[in-house]
A and B are shown apart, each in its own frame.
Chain A
């Protein structure tokens, strides 16, 4: 199953830098992994950590948070607040039993289309290695999964 696993990833982008980097990657026809679906916000500082949890609990296998490089924030310093929240969120994720590697913070300026593309592809590979999250899957699905697992256990080694 993991061989064909295609992760689903939600990417939060800043209107001023990383969203434009994604635009630039497009204009320059740079190819990258198709697993990331982007949401535009005005600033990485807008990122409410519950957005990340909502994404993970609703089927995303990973979340990419992108913002302006330190010192380059369009709103002066709000990306530092995103960084603070990200670090706290990492601890919360551990507490919830989720690999911290499923949520990644990437800085990409509006000029860094190539960086955006390569970082995206890299993150998809990282998540592919971690496997599907299956967090917040409806109970019925988990039950059927449990059944499958118990079937596997019945097979003598």
Chain B
């Protein structure tokens, strides 16, 4: 260590206007750095109003050139904001960018402390730590990797379709993977869309057809991603294409198999349990692709070994009972996750009686009920299938904004409840009550829709519904569902008898969102939604390079926002592809094989399979392409044979000493 050549360090203290200078004595800090850290190699320390301004950067560049600085410390804001700015400045002046460190004296000092003397003292420690650390920094080179121009979009709802189309229309190839037999997602189940009351299918199906026939889109429905390996630029993805038992190259989508199939099954997915489908089926008439799938669990042939009616009647011989699940491997450069949401299970709010009281419906059930292509051909009737309700209660915030279930607002439920109110009013003339906590109708033309529903005569009761019951107390309540609620505007309890109750259920993350996130290497928030890189400035990127998110997978949102995010994610992907290569941070672990004793302690630590053991030489090797740079193996190696660039033992030890002012005196020989 003592042989080490003395570095020439420059310390630059930013005032950040009064953001730092208001709480930290920046001049004092500068002077202190120049005097007390001199033996460490600090030859110059300067303060400036805004270091990030071009004049501030020029100041640093000038010193690097004229004073021959070999290390730079900028005491300013968080490295997550301006590390790149100052490293680029260093690079422009001919210094390796990784020889420049940021000391965060704004986020970690001036903004969180009030006493100037105390804050200044802490700032000195932070700067001393950074100076000690930067001396141990070594020049690094960014790792450039080529970007595979193909993209994977997971989820064929409106957000995924939009993302896939944007990229495909730019002339690049997309794999669109969907778990269900058809793309379309939740939007395909809806009847009308708020606030314009566009028919959902009418605006969605042209997009579905476009995605299904686009020469640049490989559509993989009834398929799931089962494994993801690699990193930005070159992901290797394994997709399981489940057996359809229908040969796609022969099937014409004529629908004869479905017609002839003798087995009726309750459709729990598309029809929300209100209607039937066959054992071989396409979920809805406009399904894309047109090929049906066979439901092995319910098919008479798979259960009893006889039937094969579909095979007999298929005019092209497309039925194949021996078809097997297939694993497909694809190479892509970027991935967009648009995996959507699950509807909150209204059974969990047991006091609202869903599942127990027949005429309590969920929002998705009502969507199917009011859909002209649904099980009742669009007639709004009670569970008996024939009686038209004379009064309907719509309960908002079911499972949302509720400490017992989900704390968050599900965003769409207010507008959805208003849409239901309008449809019930229009089609049945029934009296409609909306029970809401707060009416949230932000965004374009939404509040106008609320006004319209108000004018139509829908009754609004502000308060959280306590209970839905069929236990009548009075004569006029008999045979009805009674909604017991607090009316916070009238300041009293009310009992309102109705024929039908619709629960405007909230949205929640997919039941398997955590596992999916894990597979793609991204995290979920405490609520379970995928976490974006920045809540405001980077809503569709994630902390993992090359993985983007769009639509409800990121959080509850309506159709316009989902579409916007799908398009935004595709713009990010196109930007990456056009750059042709991506620069990766050179933070990697490597093994000094002369020091490796072959103990294999590190072998089981890497979740990215970057560590492998060379049996012939009895040493461990790390694949830099797979290494993500977490440093867990570096910390584990008992021989100190694993070195981690960017965060080496030397750098961290030196920073500890610096932070504790251990380096204020020259070390005696």
Which residues of A pack against B, CB within 8 Å? 8, 10, 16, 19-20, 22-23, 25-27, 29-32, 34, 37-43, 45-49, 51, 54-55, 58-60, 68-69, 71-78, 81, 85, 109-111, 117
CB A41 to nearest CB in B, in angstroms, measures 6
- 21 A–B contact pairs at CB < 8 A? A8-B660, A10-B659, A27-B107, A37-B126, A37-B129, A37-B660, A38-B104, A41-B647, A43-B630, A46-B632, A46-B634, A54-B656, A55-B656, A55-B660, A59-B660, A59-B661, A72-B524, A74-B544, A78-B607, A109-B526, A111-B526
- For A117, the chain B residues whose CB sits under 8 A away are 112
Q: Is the CB of A58 within 8 A of B647?
A: no
Q: Are B652 and A51 in contact (CB under 8 A)?
A: yes
Instruction: For the complex, give the distance between the alpha carbons of A117 and B657 in Å.
Output: 24
In the complex, the answer to whether A37 meets B125 with C-beta atoms within 8 Å is: yes
The smallest beta-carbon distance between B38 and chain A, in angstroms, is: 21
Cβ 8 A contact of B543, one of A16, A30, A48: A16
Q: How far is the CA of A78 from the CA of B524 in the complex (A)?
A: 16
**Are B129's CB and A75's CB within 8 A?**
no
Contacts A81-B632, A117-B112 given; does A39 touch B659 at CB 8 Å: yes
- CB-based nearest A residue for B533: A110
Once the chains are docked, how many angstroms separate the CA of A51 from the CA of B518?
29
Give bound CA distance, A58 to B482, whole Å.
71
C-alpha gap A81/B602 in the complex (Å) = 11
A51 to B652, CA, bound (A): 8
CA A47 to CA B79, docked complex, whole Å = 20
Contacting A at CB under 8 A, from B108-139, are: 108-109, 111-115, 118-119, 121-122, 125-126, 129
**B98-112 contact mask (Cβ, 8 Å, vs A): 1 or 0:** 000000101111011
For B635, list chain A residues within 8 Å (CB): 45-49, 85
User: Contact between B644 and A37 (Cβ–Cβ < 8 Å)?
Assistant: no
State whether A45 touches B518 (Cβ < 8 A).
no
- For A12, the closest partner residue in chain B by CB is B652
Binary per-residue interface labels of chain B (623-636) against chain A in the complex, 1 for a CB within 8 Å, 0 otherwise: 00000111110111
Q: For residue B282, which residues in chain A have a CB less than 8 angstroms away from its CB?
A: none
Given contacts A23-B80, A37-B125, A39-B652, contact A75 B113 (CB under 8 A): no
Contacting pair B605 A81 (CB below 8 A): yes
Contact indicator B524/A32 (Cβ below 8 Å): no
Identify the closest chain A residue to B122 (Cβ).
A34
Chain B residues positioned under 8 Å from A10 (CB to CB): 656, 659-660
Q: Pick the most buried of B79, B631, B634, B647: most chain A CB atoms within 10 A of its CB.
A: B631
Inter-chain contacts of A38 with B (CB < 8 A): 104, 108
Instruction: Write out the residue numbers on chain A whose beta carbons fall within 8 Å of the beta carbon of B653.
Output: 51, 54
**B365-387 contact mask (Cβ, 8 Å, vs A): 1 or 0:** 00000000000000000000000
Known: A58-B660, A109-B525. 9 other contacts (CB 8 A): A26-B108, A34-B118, A37-B122, A43-B632, A46-B635, A55-B660, A58-B656, A74-B630, A78-B632
B662 at the interface (CB under 8 A from A): yes
Interfacial chain A residues near B6, Cβ < 8 Å = none
B629 pairs with A42, CB closer than 8 A: yes
B521 at the interface (CB under 8 A from A): yes
The 5 closest A-B pairs by CB, nearest first: A26-B107, A46-B631, A45-B632, A43-B630, A75-B630
Minimum distance in angstroms from A71 CB to a CB of chain B: 7
A76 touches B662 (CB 8 A): no
The CA-CA distance from A38 to B655 in the complex, in Å, is 10
Q: Are A22 and B607 in contact (CB under 8 A)?
A: no
Contacts of A76 on B, CB cut-off 8 Å?
A: 518, 521, 607-608
Docked CA distance A37–B130 (Å):
11
CA distance A68 to B526 in the complex (A): 11
What are the residues of chain B within 8 A of A43 when measuring CB–CB?
630-632
When chains A and B are docked, how far (Å) is the Cα of A85 from the Cα of B635? 10
Judge whether B541 is part of the interface by a CB distance below 8 angstroms: no
Contact B107 A48 (CB under 8 A): no
Encoded as 1 (CB less than 8 Å from any A CB) or 0, chain B from 574 to 610 comes to 0000000000000100000000000000000101100
Q: A26 to B113, Cβ gap below 8 A?
A: no
Which single member of B79, B111, B607, B646 contacts A26 (CB below 8 Å)?
A: B111
Check if B339 is an interface residue, CB within 8 A of chain A.
no
Q: Report the separation of the CA atoms of residues A138 and B656 in the bound assembly, to the nearest whole angstrom.
A: 17
The answer to whether B523 and A45 touch across the interface, beta carbons within 8 angstroms, is: no
Chain A CB within 8 A of B531 CB: yes
Closest to B514 in A: A71
Residues A42 and B630 in contact, CB atoms below 8 Å apart: yes
B112 and A29 within 8 A (CB) = yes
Write out the residue numbers on chain A whose beta carbons fall within 8 Å of the beta carbon of B531: 110
For B662, give its contact among A30, A58, A81 (CB under 8 Å): A58
A-side contacts of B652, CB under 8 Å: 39, 41, 48, 51
A50 CB → nearest B CB, Å: 8
In the complex, are the beta carbons of A26 and B605 less than 8 A apart? Answer: no
Asked if B329 lies at the interface with its beta carbon under 8 angstroms from chain A, I say no
Give every chain A residue within 8 A of B521 (Cβ-Cβ). Answer: 76
Cα distance A51–B657 in the bound complex, in angstroms: 10
Evaluate whether A34 and B115 lie within 8 angstroms (CB atoms) in the complex, with A109-B526, A110-B531 already known: yes
In the complex, what's the smallest C-beta–C-beta distance from A9 to chain B, in angstroms? 10
Of B628, B634, B647, B652, chain A has the most CB atoms within 10 Å of the CB of B652
